[in-house]
Structure 1
Amino acid sequence: MPDVRRALHVVGIVVLVAAAGVTAVVAAPQVVGADESYVVVSGSMRPTLQAGDVVVVSSTAPANVDSGDVVAFDRIAGDGKRTTHRVVEVIERDGQRYFRTKGDANEEADRRLVPEDALIGRMAFSIPYVGWAFSFASTDTGTLAFVAVPGVLLVVSELWSLVAAARGGGSESDGSAEHTGESGR
């Protein structure tokens, strides 16, 4: 039985460290040298990206973006609504760079060209499925599941330990003290 408990303890620590690492990358992509992270909400980039994946994006100069790169951009410069699609063509016009983009799963390229000032950056990497957990965590049920339930379990665990120590630990301590007292005479 102690070997099973030890194995479960090790598995629990590994899972906790992995979850903390992924959370750190998503919440602060700067830890891996990136600048932004987004949850993919549509299937327009299948099979490269699925809804629920997290995309980690590094800022890059528009001059460094080429056809084939997967980029994140504002749909309309400054609107805050982000899209992640593949660049299928780079267009130079009137001293400005524009990008024709297309979702991998879409038949046709996007109607609007992406001006360079709407570019956020190039995809550095993605983390599959993790976005579902972060999206769920932002709901009331998710907050309950990820904060309240573990908090209650921690309190119950600590109370259990205190009760166990009060029941069994007191007599061991008394016996130890008596033994120490006898050998000191």
Structure 2
Amino acid sequence: MYYLKNGGDQAIVKQTAPASIHENDVISFYSSDPALSGAVNTHRVVSIETDGNNYRYITKGDANNVVDRYDVDSRDLLGRVVWSSLILGKIVRLVSNPLIFVPIILVPLAIILIANLVKTVSYARKIAKDEEEAAVKEAIQYIREKNLRETGDTTESNENSERKSE
């Protein structure tokens, strides 16, 4: 059994067939109270009236002394509360407050993103430096081999020239 006297509880609601709702169940529904203008409300069922396939639930808030003025039609039913938590409700309320959301959620998130960006740029620079060093080494090796070939060709040409002159 769930008592939602605090008004700030976070509830998990399971979609439930109207016929499966019983007295003392806590249900969530779209309120027909003009003051709430269709907002979601969560109250306890104190009695049920049926008219064929249509169900009307008489509800009462756990913190209220009297039953609700407006009954809940089964078409407005969202479902039965299967779990609730005051702590989770407070956390959700805090996080949804912009004065809390920005410094507690967005600022750390921005710091993490910037740190990851700096790390990524640093890593990319290291990779680029390593690739550049490898390219320079390859170019030096190519030039050395070319010089050796040219030197070798020159030596062979000199030897051939000396042989012809003999």
TM superposition score normalised by structure 2: 0.58
After TM superposition, where is structure 1 displaced by more than 4 Å over at least 4 residues in a row?
155-158
1:118 is displaced (CA, Å) by: 0.7
Which residue does 1:146 correspond to in 2?
A: 104
Shift of 1:107: 1.3
The answer to whether 1:129 aligns with 2:87 is: yes
Aligned to 1:71: 27
Q: Which structure 2 residues correspond to residues 22-171 of structure 1 after superposition, within 5 A?
A: 48-76=4-32, 80-93=38-51, 95-151=53-109, 153-154=111-112
Mapped partners of 2:30, 2:62: distance in 1: 18
Mapped to 2, the partners of 1:109 and 1:85 lie a distance apart of 10
- RMSD, aligned α-carbons: 2.9
How much has 1:53 moved relative to structure 2?
Answer: 1.6
Unaligned regions of 5+ residues in structure 1, if any? 1-45, 162-185
Question: 1:92-126: per-residue Cα shift (whole Å, max 9, x none)?
Answer: 13652110101122111111111110110000101
**115-124 or 145-154, which deviates more:** 145-154
Structure-1 separation of matches of 2:68 and 2:85? 25
Bigger-Rg structure (1/2) = 2
Which amino acid is the alignment partner of residue 45 of structure 2? V
Structure with bigger RCO (C-alpha 8 Å, 6+ apart): 2
Distance in 1 of aligned mates of 2:3 and 2:53:
35
Q: Which residue of 2 aligns with 1:19?
A: none
Tell me, in whole angstroms, the C-alpha distance in 2 between the residues paired with 1:62 and 1:69: 12
In the TM superposition, residue 80 of structure 1 has moved relative to its aligned partner by: 4.3
SS at 2:108's partner residue? Answer: helix
Q: State the number of aligned residues.
A: 116
> Does the 8 A contact of 2:5 with 2:61 survive in 1?
no
Task: Point out where structure 2 has 5 or more consecutive residues left out of the alignment.
Answer: 120-166
Q: CA-to-partner distance for each residue in 1:138-178, whole Å, 9 max, x for gaps? A: 232222123333135547877xx9xxxxxxxxxxxxxxxxx
**Equivalent residue of 1:129, what SS?**
helix
| Distance apart, 1:61 and its partner CA | 0.4
Looking at structure 1, the residues matched to 76 and 110 of structure 2 have their Cα atoms a distance apart, in angstroms, of 45
Q: Distance in 2 between matches of 1:101 and 1:138?
A: 28
